[in-house]
């Protein structure tokens, strides 16, 4: 298939879940014979240095500049006087829509792959089938954020933006010929909103072999890990709960334990935590972090999508303690592949129990690794997406 793919980021380096997903799928779809023309959004010109890595797998790669910072006065004012939500305004790139209009006049494509609904405004009116991939249901993410927002007088204004998010998400779901969800739960929510949608599931995954490759060993002292992209609201909320409510219980029981907060922009969002003896860092290769840690603890309460940290930890042989929401969208079962608890004190005790029960620890680690190898490796996921490409592209 000749595919025009739009992403709201450059899918390299692999610093975020979205970049990881797109890169791994592009790499494998290319190997399956699909010809991909990739249009990406970047925050600055320096990101162009990563384009050659994508050119290995794509016919063509073009980048367009979006605002480097989200919360600018210009973005806020444009959102206030626009029917579009902040997320669309923040990800608008001048010149991309005109570029696509000209491209469609001279080139033939079998389908357009839009990664996230907020790149859809760049697509001009066309008869080419559109596949829209929703990595999460955005209005639910932001609604959860607004519900927890500490300034009550701001909530009415923020809820207006949530309403706009829901309106445009649904509009673009309907505009697409097919929609991709990450999980059965996301699919159920979409179909509850509109039964007319054609929704497939292409879940997030992991390169099992990459994370299974040994580059480090567990440390002697227990290490509690939280890893994520901290530009994501749910991850910042989870860290606050972990630090304030979960970690003190674990630390009281294991005084030599360490807490690591690792991931994109960790130092930016949590500069004070390092003063409390907590490791706060962004690293280029997370495999060593997973392999040195003792347990991944993720008190996540904001829903939507699936979490790469779970699959990467599973593939690395690192047990996970998380919430029902934090493991949502996967086939992982409590007590078999993961430990699921829904209150901070229960999460803390579950982590302590794992640290003190070597047999259970190893059992959970083995089962989780087997699960990702069989169900969540990128190779079969890419083949499933390839089949959807073929079905949709044949309609042109």
Nearest to 201 by CA among 220, 178, 231, 219: 178
Tell me: do 236 and 144 sit in the same domain: no
Instruction: Please report, for the domain that includes residue 249, its CATH number.
Output: 3.40.50.2000
136-168 pLDDT tens trace: 999 998 898 899 888 888 899 999 999 999 999
Q: Taking 60 as the threshold, does the pLDDT of residue 396 lie above it? A: no
The token pair at 260 is: 């690591």
Q: Taking 90 as the threshold, does the pLDDT of residue 127 lie above it? A: yes
316-328 pLDDT tens trace: 999 999 999 999 8
Helices (H), the chain: 17-31, 51-55, 73-80, 86-90, 96-106, 138-147, 155-175, 184-193, 208-212, 233-241, 247-253, 266-269, 287-292, 308-316, 344-356, 358-375, 378-393
Q: Taking 60 as the threshold, does the pLDDT of residue 306 lie above it? A: no
Comparing 38-47, 146-155, 378-387, which segment has the lowest mean pLDDT?
146-155
284 DSSP 8-state letter: S
Q: How far apart are CA 235 and CA 249, in angstroms?
A: 20
Gyration radius of the chain over CA positions: 21
Q: Taking 80 as the threshold, does the pLDDT of residue 305 lie above it? A: no
pLDDT at 312: 95
Tell me: do 310 and 343 sit in the same domain: yes
- What confidence tier does 294 reach under pLDDT thresholds 50, 70, 90? very high
Greatest pairwise CA separation for the chain in angstroms: 67
Greater confidence (229 vs 113) lies with: 113
- What confidence tier does 17 reach under pLDDT thresholds 50, 70, 90? confident
Tell me: do 311 and 345 sit in the same domain: yes
Tell me: do 197 and 230 sit in the same domain: no
Tell me: do 194 and 162 sit in the same domain: yes
Q: Taking 60 as the threshold, does the pLDDT of residue 80 lie above it? A: yes
Tell me: do 344 and 332 sit in the same domain: yes
Q: Taking 90 as the threshold, does the pLDDT of residue 275 lie above it? A: no
Tell me: do 152 and 229 sit in the same domain: no
- Within 10 angstroms of residue 44's Cβ, the number of other Cβ atoms is 9
pLDDT at 15: 84
Model confidence, pTM:
0.86
Q: Are 331 and 375 in contact (CB under 8 A)?
A: yes
Range of the domain at 172: 2-205+378-393
pLDDT at 141: 87
Q: Please state the domain count of the chain.
A: 2
221-255 pLDDT tens trace: 999 999 998 988 889 999 999 999 999 999 999 99
């Amino acid at each position: 298939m000749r595919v025009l793919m739009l992403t709201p980021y450059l899918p390299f380096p692999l610093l975020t879940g979205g970049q990881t997903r797109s890169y791994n799928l592009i790499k494998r779809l290319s190997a399956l014979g699909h010809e991909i023309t990739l249009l990406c959004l970047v925050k600055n010109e320096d990101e162009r240095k990563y384009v050659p890595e994508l050119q290995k797998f794509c016919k063509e790669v073009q980048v367009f500049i979006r605002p480097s910072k989200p919360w600018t006065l210009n973005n806020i004012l444009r959102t206030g006087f626009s029917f579009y939500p902040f997320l669309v305004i923040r990800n608008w790139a001048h010149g991309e829509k005109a570029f696509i209009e000209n491209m469609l006049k001279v080139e033939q494509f079998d389908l357009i792959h839009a990664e996230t609904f907020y790149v859809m405004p760049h697509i001009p009116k066309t008869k080419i089938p559109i596949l829209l991939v929703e990595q999460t249901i955005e209005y639910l993410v932001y609604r959860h954020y607004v519900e927890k927002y500490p300034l009550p007088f701001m909530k009415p204004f923020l809820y207006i933006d949530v309403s706009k998010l829901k309106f445009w998400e649904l509009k673009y779901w309907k505009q697409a010929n097919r929609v991709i969800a990450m999980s059965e739960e996301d699919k159920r929510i979409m179909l509850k909103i509109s039964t007319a949608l054609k929704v497939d599931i292409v879940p997030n995954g992991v390169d099992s072999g990459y994370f299974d490759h040994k580059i480090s060993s567990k440390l002697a002292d227990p290490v509690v890990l939280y890893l994520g992209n901290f530009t994501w609201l749910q991850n910042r909320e989870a860290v606050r709960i972990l630090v304030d409510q979960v970690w003190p219980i674990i630390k009281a029981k294991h005084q030599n334990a360490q807490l690591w907060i690792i991931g994109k922009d960790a130092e930016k969002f949590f500069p004070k935590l390092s003063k409390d003896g907590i490791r706060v860092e962004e690293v280029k290769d997370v495999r060593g972090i997973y392999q040195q840690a003792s347990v991944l603890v993720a008190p996540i309460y904001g829903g939507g999508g699936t979490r790469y940290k779970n699959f990467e930890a599973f593939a690395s042989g690192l047990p996970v303690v998380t919430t029902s929401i934090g493991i949502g969208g996967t086939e992982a079962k409590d007590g078999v592949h993961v430990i699921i608890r829904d209150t901070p004190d229960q999460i803390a005790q579950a982590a302590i129990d794992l640290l003190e029960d070597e047999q259970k620890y190893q059992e959970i680690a083995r089962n989780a690794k087997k699960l990702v190898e069989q169900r969540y490796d990128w190779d079969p996921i890419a083949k499933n997406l390839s089949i959807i490409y073929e079905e949709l592209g044949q309609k042109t």
